[in-house]
Amino acid sequence: QNDPLVIFTPSGKRGHFPNGTKVLDAARQLGVDLDSVCGGRGICSKCQVQPSFGDFSKHGITSQPDALSDWNAVEERYKSIRGLIDGRRLGCQAQVNGDVVIDVPPESQVHKQVVRKSADTREIVLDPATRLYYVEVEEPDMHEPSGDLERLSKALAEQWNLPNTTSDLRIMQHLQPALRQGKWKVTVAVYQGKGLGEARIIHVWPGYYEGTIYGLAIDLGSTTIAAHLCDLQTGKVLTSSGIMNPQIRFGEDLMSRVSYSMMNPGGAAEMTTAVRTALQALVNTVAAEAIIDPALIVEAVFVANPVMHHLLLGIDPVELGQAPFALATSDSMTLWASELDLTMHPSASIYILPCIAGHVGADAAAVALSEAPNRSEDLVLIVDVGTNAEILLGNKHKVLACSSPTGPAFEGAQISSGQRAAPGAIERVEINPVTKEPRFRVIGSEKWSDEDGFTEEAGTITGICGSGIIEAIAEMRMAGLVDPSGLIGSAAQTGTERCMPNGRTHEYVLFEGDGTSPRITVTNGDVRAIQLAKAALYAGARLLMDQMGVDEVDRVVLAGAFGAHISPKHAMVLGMIPDCDVEKVTSAGNAAGTGARIALLNAAARREVESTVRQIVKVETAVEPRFQEHFVAASNIPHATDAYAKLRA
Ligand code: FES
């Protein structure tokens, strides 16, 4: 081959191209990731490249601008108006002029890697369902009459290979002024999803639109609703915010909300209105925090457990409260934001991930997307710890799923001094096994209290949160203050005055209280509540292990906002999870939220999760007799085996 050799970095893709070939064209032919919004017109500057010269450059190219033939007028104009970093060229203008190595800087890569997975280094590429396209539209001609919309569609087909775009009245109402104001050049936002038409024009801006468009990833939990606002052109999370789910006033946990709906005519509709109102407030909050117009939010992705999923959609969840726990639909859904009474962009779409089963929702599907057990060589147990634990067990050969009714104790509810994780809550606890004296740390403070108890530095104490109570009870067990059956000993039995009578049982005084902070104790009722919750979690995991025919797992991933704060050691001491090398227990943070973000930023991931969910085998704990057996066996601390002894050794 006599044509010059062109090598792109960092991809390493290479090919021979005749002199005069535009760099953007060479990149496209080789499948190199090089961005372009304006279609090579020297307007968007997304296509910037940087010629670099290794040993490879045998043509003695020495000056940056000359590396890829001379600057052309379009580039000169661009540089004089907007500036261009030294050494950079516009890929749509620069031409090949001899062998060259061309670096594509990260910001010019369309498929930027933005989401990092916890357990390995799999990264997610940016390829959202809604993207911007700059087009030049033919002017109307009396002799060849056709509508402005038809000429816009033709331009999208010819210039961006987007045939058969559709639109609606909202577009037509704004199209004519936009085309004329932009002098027949416009930027178009096109949604390409499975539903709502294959390629739908959702907005038209006159000329080149300098701004960006946004998407929301929303994790709709029973207790909290979390939203991440993302820039759909860079994948960056601009702001994250959360609010309490106002449905709590209808019932603390899922089943009490289903009961509310059964007992009260119109109850489901009330809960639907409550959650939609809260979602709108959350949309407005994140937009205000990022200082953007909510009308620029063009998409949202939702993940939710089945009851929340149905209530969001305005479907009565009554069928989910009784066997056979039938979902109205388990498929993914694409709908208009306006159908959920959400005000953002008028043509904004909503994508809801598929549900796995009647008790294993789109949130678990999102965890499966984010943690990808179906790609794992190891047998991995993933527990998404919340009011209802959702559990996945599997590897690349098979994935099983179930849910387990842990109740809200892990979130600090049903605990005498319990509270949600917020500043002032005790979140970390240590008990000296010799003196039996505690030290602890509260959320919002860097410092631990000292062994004499509370100090100013430890901050003001308001209660104890889920991770705090787990650590407290696990530490009490290790210090011999509580026996395997969950009974707290007396002062005489334990050798500490901190164990005091409380009715017919005892309590351990973690903090005596002072003028500003209340007394915090761990009662036998608290231990009992945590025992029940952890036994449900453990029994669910064991049930899946039985079904898989294994006695142990290779690794454990703790997911959920709460899972992020549980110490693996204490979870093991308490017997929340099956025995496993403590090093192999990791936290994935809010994996459901991460899954929602992946589905927002990568349209192909939606197809991936839809196919993964179809392959997951569901196990129904409620009708499985062995669940009950495991539950009883798991009520002891830790459970039948003696994991804590191993840890102490
Ligand atoms: Fe838009 Fe080059 S592709 S400036």
CATH number, residue 51: 3.10.20.30
- Residue holding tokens 């959400």? 342
Question: How far is the centre of ligand 1, averaged over its atoms, from the C-alpha of 161 (Å)?
Answer: 17
- Which ligand 1 atom sits nearest the alpha carbon of residue 45? 4
Q: How many angstroms separate the Cα of 580 from the Cα of each of 302, 362, 552, 585?
A: 33, 28, 7, 8
Whether residues 134 and 244 fall in one domain: no
Whether residues 484 and 577 fall in one domain: no
Please choose from 28, 45, 88, 102 the residue to mutate so as to test ligand 1's pocket, defined by most ligand atoms within 8 A of CB: 45
Query: Quick check: is 64 in a domain?
Result: yes
User: Which residues share a beta bridge with 511?
Assistant: 520
Dist. CA 381–CA 378, nearest whole Å: 10
Please give the structure tokens belonging to residue 43.
């307007």
- Which ligand 1 atom sits nearest the alpha carbon of residue 39? 3
Query: Quick check: is 549 in a domain?
Result: no
Query: Quick check: is 193 in a domain?
Result: yes
Dist. CA 591–CA 605, nearest whole Å: 15
User: Which residues share a beta bridge with 123?
Assistant: 116
The whole domain housing 180 covers 113-206
In the chain, the amino acid numbered 530 is I
Dist. CA 22–CA 18, nearest whole Å: 10
pLDDT of residue 506: 95
Of 403, 378, 405, 382, the residue nearest 393 (C-alpha)? 382
Domain boundary among 206, 234, 253: 206
Please choose from 25, 33, 38 the residue to mutate so as to test ligand 1's pocket, defined by most ligand atoms within 8 A of CB: 38
Q: What angle do CA 153, 156, 157 make, to 5 degrees?
A: 85
Whether residues 279 and 304 fall in one domain: yes
Question: How far is the centre of ligand 1, averaged over its atoms, from the C-alpha of 41 (Å)?
Answer: 5
Question: How far is the centre of ligand 1, averaged over its atoms, from the C-alpha of 101 (Å)?
Answer: 20
For residue 72 and ligand 1, the question of a CB distance below 6 A is answered with: no
For residue 42 and ligand 1, the question of a CB distance below 6 A is answered with: yes
Of 472, 356, 370, the residue nearest 412 (C-alpha)? 472
> b/e per residue, 13-23, with b = 16+ CB within 10 A?
bebebeeebbb
pLDDT of residue 119: 41
Whether residues 242 and 257 fall in one domain: yes
Whether residues 229 and 338 fall in one domain: yes
DSSP helix/strand/coil, 503: coil
Query: Quick check: is 539 in a domain?
Result: no
Whether residues 133 and 238 fall in one domain: no
Whether residues 224 and 335 fall in one domain: yes
Q: Are 294 and 153 in contact (CB under 8 A)?
A: no
Question: How far is the centre of ligand 1, averaged over its atoms, from the C-alpha of 194 (Å)?
Answer: 29
DSSP helix/strand/coil, 147: coil
pLDDT of residue 452: 52
Dihedrals φ, ψ of 434, to 5°?
-90, -55
Whether residues 339 and 243 fall in one domain: yes
Dist. CA 637–CA 576, nearest whole Å: 9
pLDDT tens digits, 562-576: 777 888 889 988 989
For residue 187 and ligand 1, the question of a CB distance below 6 A is answered with: no
Question: How far is the centre of ligand 1, averaged over its atoms, from the C-alpha of 534 (Å)?
Answer: 57
Whether residues 478 and 500 fall in one domain: yes
**What's the CATH code of the domain at 223?**
3.30.420.480
pLDDT of residue 455: 56
Residue ranges, the chain, pLDDT below 70: 1, 53-70, 111-123, 195-197, 451-459, 639-649
- Which ligand 1 atom sits nearest the alpha carbon of residue 90? 2
Whether residues 376 and 293 fall in one domain: no
Dist. CA 431–CA 440, nearest whole Å: 9
Dist. CA 521–CA 518, nearest whole Å: 10
CB atoms within 10 A of CB 10: 11
Alpha helices, DSSP H only, in 182-245? none
Q: How many angstroms separate the Cα of 162 from the Cα of each of 155, 156, 378, 494, 639?
A: 9, 5, 42, 74, 60
Query: Quick check: is 15 in a domain?
Result: yes
pLDDT of residue 166: 93
Dist. CA 438–CA 432, nearest whole Å: 6
Helix pair angle (169-181, 148-160), 10° resolution: 80
In the chain, the amino acid numbered 134 is Y
- Which ligand 1 atom sits nearest the alpha carbon of residue 78? 4
Q: Are 622 and 325 in contact (CB under 8 A)?
A: yes
For residue 149 and ligand 1, the question of a CB distance below 6 A is answered with: no
For residue 429 and ligand 1, the question of a CB distance below 6 A is answered with: no
Q: What is the CA radius of gyration of the chain?
A: 29
Query: Quick check: is 254 in a domain?
Result: yes
Please give the structure tokens belonging to residue 323.
């066997």
DSSP E strands, 46-87: 48-52
Whether residues 62 and 139 fall in one domain: no
For residue 47 and ligand 1, the question of a CB distance below 6 A is answered with: yes
pLDDT of residue 515: 78
Please give the structure tokens belonging to residue 59.
């043509």
Whether residues 50 and 143 fall in one domain: no
Dist. CA 566–CA 95, nearest whole Å: 56
Q: How many angstroms separate the Cα of 461 from the Cα of each of 138, 165, 367, 424?
A: 68, 59, 33, 5
Number of structural domains (the chain) is: 5
Where residue 50 falls (left for φ over 0; alpha for ψ -120 to 50; beta otherwise) is beta
Of 297, 146, 284, 285, the residue nearest 214 (C-alpha)? 297
Dist. CA 484–CA 375, nearest whole Å: 38
User: Which residues share a beta bridge with 389?
Assistant: 404
pLDDT tens digits, 458-512: 568 899 998 899 999 999 999 999 999 999 999 999 999 999 999 999 999 999 8
Domain boundary among 59, 86, 108: 108
CB atoms within 10 A of CB 267: 19
Query: Quick check: is 330 in a domain?
Result: yes
pLDDT of residue 458: 55
Domain boundary among 330, 352, 374: 352
Q: Residue 580 burial by CB count (10 A; 0-12/13-18/19+): exposed, middle or buried?
A: middle
**What's the CATH code of the domain at 140?**
3.10.20.880
- Which ligand 1 atom sits nearest the alpha carbon of residue 48? 2
Question: How far is the centre of ligand 1, averaged over its atoms, from the C-alpha of 36 (Å)?
Answer: 5
Query: Quick check: is 96 in a domain?
Result: yes
Antiparallel, parallel or unpaired: β 237-244 and 499-502: unpaired
- Which ligand 1 atom sits nearest the alpha carbon of residue 35? 3
